[in-house]
Chain A
Amino acid sequence: GENVEQHPSTLSVQEGDSAVIKCTYSDSASNYFPWYKQELGKRPQLIIDIRSNVGEKKDQRIAVTLNKTAKHFSLHITETQPEDSAVYFCAAASGGSNYKLTFGKGTLLTVNP
């Protein structure tokens, strides 16, 4: 089955700096890669996703890049703010009858004011 590795497990940055979280996946059939943000005590919420036919996607301060050949994808947050502090999860999914979303272990991002 799919295996998703996520690094780093914790990341601390100063407000205004950029943050990068990286994930690798094992199943070359995976074609959908969402990123979820989970604030303390709250539910995971989708912040951005990318499909396998696209190499990069951007939404304001958040961007995701995908390298299908290397089977890795990354989340980039620019101009970080304290409210960006949360746990971020990457995930990989493949379609078909065995659809399954496999998550990484998460990255605790702390943005220091």
Chain B
Amino acid sequence: ETGVTQTPRHLVMGMTNKKSLKCEQHLGHNAMYWYKQSAKKPLELMFVYNFKEQTENNSVPSRFSPECPNSSHLFLHLHTLQPEDSALYLCASSHRAGSGETQYFGPGTRLLVL
């Protein structure tokens, strides 16, 4: 349960605020992911980093900006968000980015944009 941690667990922000979500994995993995989970929608992949290189940007608006300084840490910088961006943001990691690699999820950050 402590392999992938996320902070903060809850965040309320206004549309003009700037905030950052943090993810840290202690599993020795080389790939990290950001997902968005909204009510009644599938888990949506946002970004993939493999060995610190971004390999996937799933048509995510520029108000979401990822950063991966090393294989253990992943950030999601948020600015000028919209109310429809309110969701659970999940971080995950795997040994590497490839089919067949089990992804381990963090507990998520519940984001509310007012």
Contacts and interface: CB of A to CB of B under 8 A. Distances in A.
A93 interface: yes
Given A43-B4, A45-B105, 8 more contacts: A36-B105, A44-B105, A99-B56, A99-B98, A100-B56, A101-B103, A104-B42, A105-B42
B81 interface: no
Interface residues of B, number: 23
Main secondary structure of the interface of A (DSSP, over half): strand
Contacts of A91: 43
B102 A49 contact: yes
A101 B45 contact: yes
B41 to A, nearest CB: 7
A60 interface: no
Contacts of B42: 4, 89, 102-106
A94 interface: yes
Contacts of A34: 102-103
Nearest to A105: B42
A1 to B, nearest CB: 9
